[in-house]
Every structure is written in structure tokens, then in C-alpha cells.
Amino acid sequence: MKVLILHQHYKTPATGGAIRSYYLAKALADKGVTTVVITAHNEKFYKQEITDGIEVHYLPIAYDNRFGFFARSWSFLKYVRASVTLAHRFRDADYCYAISVPLTVGLAALWIKMRYKIPYIFEVGDLWPEAPVQLGFIKNIVFAQSLYALEKRIYKSAKSIVALSPSIQTAIEKKKVPGKTVHLIPNMADCDFYKPEKKRCGPGSSVCCAKQIGCIVHRGAGCCQRVGLFPGVCKRYTQSTTARSFFMCGDGAELERLKGHAQSLGLTNLTFLDFRNRDGVKALLNITDAVFVCYKQVPVLETGSPNKFFDGLAAGKLIIINFGGWIKAEVEAARCGFYYNPQQPTEFVKKLSAYLYEGGLLERAQAAARNLAEEKYSRKKLSEVFGGVFR
């Protein structure tokens, strides 16, 4: 069998960032499936390479999360055209697996189906165009309606759909295309790579090894992340008798504004760290006790499946969130962390202090996080589920 994967933002462990598509491609390649990926990069020339048994084609199409709406849209459309053209070389593929966002990847899959007769499976990580509409990026009603119509056509033309969360699965099954097969495959917890570890402290350690709170913000974190409120939380801790250290790791459109905000507050307990790859994230997780996953308070964002949540589960960390939805339900049911109202930073301090000072509470939550990763979201288990999608 041969599978063609379309993902404009394909990443590998070496580059860092969200590497779900790498995990999926690797799962197919490990099963003996000929796996080809068409993606894009910010270099000026086309490049082809084989990594871990995966044939990857990099199109020279620039993209950055600092781009404005029109620059992003132009990048998306350029990828559609170039990927459809390149797909001619792989017209012997049995399936095309199209990974959104953006929604336009589905348009590429639709054209590939029409031109080359390759059926496609469409992965939905965010509900588009619902997300940019709710976030206020798309305000023109006519344009929005045309995108909703495109979304429905992409869903209807797909052989099947893969949803990254129960909320997305339900929305598609009940509201978009009733009767269509919608598989549920959330983001994966790499339980072999991320593990609960003893903190590596000692001479030469660059970071204090007391109990730390990690706010892991991967590349791409921008307006959808509600990290703008986090410096205020750190300020509350400087005013309490239970001050702790916090780390914010990553890059994004909001980074410089956040640094300026933290500086204006005179924070000494918040350290900004550069974007890092998977190994770097693992090292940071080693010296932290918790992972803070944050989103802007917009209903559609509660349907997402943030990869940092699953990294934190696998590493056995206390999970702190500031949004509702299915992840809040998972965290509370598993008792592996807590939700706090982002408008009430004192609530954050109060709840976190309980985990830091009530004997055994933090350790029990961390063990529950790891157990949830192993039992429900392990990469090995979900890779097997993914393989079954192509049967």
C-alpha cells in the first residue's frame, strides 16, 4: 500500500514543534506502507529527503505565525497549487491523507481525488472556518458562508474523517455530514520518549531544582494562546509567601509583547526560554513539576487537542488548564490537575499551593497523569488505531 500525506506544517523530532504528522507517517512506514509526505518550508528551493523510512518533499513556500491574515492565506493557496501539481508523481497512491489546518489542505485533497482518482481521508484538528470566525479573523459573512460550504464539500467527498477530539467528532457527525464515518484519534502521548524522571540536579545545573512550574509554549503559540495573563499569575506569586519559579518556552507572535509585559511587572520568577526541539522540551520537563496549557476563552478552542497536554501527561506532570471542554473533563475525571478561572489569578495561587504543600497530593496527580497517558493516549495504541483507518 502507498499513502500520500499532505501537511503544510510537517515537523520532525529534530526540528521540534507539533510532530503528530511525523508520528502518523512513522506508524505507516513501520508497517511497511510506502509513505510520502508533501509539505513546505521557508527555504528558497525544493528539497527531497528520506527520514526514518518516510519520503518527504519540501516545497519552497514561506509561512510564519507572525504573518497577517492575507499573507497566511496566500501561503495556504500556494501550497494547494504546488502540492496538487507535485502529487502527479504519486498518482499510484492508494490513499491521500490530508491534515488540516488549514481547511485549504482539504481543497488540495479534493482536487487530487478529481484529477488522479486517489480517495482521501481528511484529518480535522480544528473546526475551520469556525475557529477563525469566532476569533474574529473572518468578518465578512459572504466569505464565511463560502468557507462553510467548502468545509461541507470536503467532508462529504472524503472516504472518511479523522477527528482529534470527541468534541470535533460530535460536531462533524451531528452537524456537518451525518452518516459519514468519523474516527477519533486524539494527539498522542509518546510514553517511550517522555517519562517521569528524577530531577537532574547538581553542580553545573543552570536551573534551580526546587519545585518549578513549567509553562511550555511551543512555536506557533500566538493569539489563540491566553499566555498574556500568565505574567499576572507570576506577579501574584511574588506577592505571596509561596513564591516559585516559572518558565515560558517557545516562540510566537506574542513573545515580545509578553516579555515587555513581564518586564513592566518587575517579575523575577518568570524566565523566558528559547524555542527548543523535542529533546529540549524533555530536558525542561525534567526540572518542572507541572505543565500549564492555556487558551483564549473562545468556545471553539475548547474542542482542540493541544500536543503540550499529551507531552505533559506522558512526562507525568501536574496539568493546569484555563479552559473548559473535553480536556477539562479528562483532567478532572483523572484527578491529574486542575482548572482555574483565567480572570482570577488568586484562584491559581490557591489551587497550586495545595499541590505544593499538601503531602502526596502532587505526586498522586502526577502518577494519574502518566496513567492516563499509558491507558488512553499512548502513541503505540493510537498508531494501531490509525493503521486501521486505511482498511
pLDDT along the chain (391 residues), means of 10: 97 88 96 97 95 97 85 93 97 96 93 97 92 88 92 94 95 84 95 88 47 45 52 64 66 73 72 80 86 86 91 94 94 96 83 84 96 97 94 81
| CB atoms inside a 10 Å sphere around CB 3 | 22
**Claim to verify: residue 181 and residue 47 sit in the same structural domain:** yes
Res 219: pLDDT: 35
Q: Which of 285, 367, 326 is nearest to 163 (CA)?
A: 326
For residue 19, being part of any structural domain is answered with yes
pLDDT tens digits, one per residue of 88-124: 999 999 999 999 988 899 999 999 999 999 999 999 9
Beta carbons within 8 Å of 228's beta carbon, 6+ residues apart? 254, 257, 258, 261
For residue 46, being part of any structural domain is answered with yes
Domain boundary, last residue among 185, 202, 235:
185
**Claim to verify: residue 113 and residue 228 sit in the same structural domain:** no
Res 205: pLDDT: 45
Q: How far apart are CA 50 and CA 69, in angstroms?
A: 33
Residue with cell 476563552: 297
Q: Which of 252, 292, 291, 242 is nearest to 274 (CA)?
A: 252
Q: What CATH number is attached to the domain comprising 339? A: 3.40.50.2000
Counting beta carbons within 10 angstroms of the beta carbon of residue 114, is it exposed (0 to 12), middle (13 to 18) or buried (19 or more)?
exposed
**Claim to verify: residue 362 and residue 288 sit in the same structural domain:** yes
Go through the chain and tell me how many residues it has.
391
Q: How far apart are CA 203 and CA 181, in angstroms?
A: 56
Q: How far apart are CA 255 and CA 273, in angstroms?
A: 11
Q: How far apart are CA 179 and CA 169, in angstroms?
A: 12
pLDDT tens digits, one per residue of 125-147: 989 888 889 988 888 999 999 99
- Put residue 195 in one of left, alpha, beta given phi > 0 → left and psi -120 to 50 → alpha: beta
Res 204: pLDDT: 42
Res 221: pLDDT: 40
State the residue range of the domain holding 287.
212-376
Domain boundary, last residue among 168, 185, 202:
185
Res 356: pLDDT: 79
The residue ranges of DSSP E strands in the chain, in sequence order, are 2-6, 34-41, 47-51, 54-60, 95-99, 120-124, 160-163, 182-184, 212-216, 245-249, 270-273, 290-293, 318-321, 337-339
Domain count, the chain: 2
Strands 54-60 and 47-51: antiparallel
Beta carbons within 8 Å of 94's beta carbon, 6+ residues apart? 1, 2, 3, 118, 390
For residue 199, being part of any structural domain is answered with no
Res 67: pLDDT: 83
The pTM for the full model equals 0.89
Q: Which of 8, 24, 6, 5 is nearest to 307 (CA)?
A: 24
Q: Measuring CA to CA, how many Å separate 200 from each of 98, 195, 205, 282, 283?
A: 41, 13, 8, 12, 9
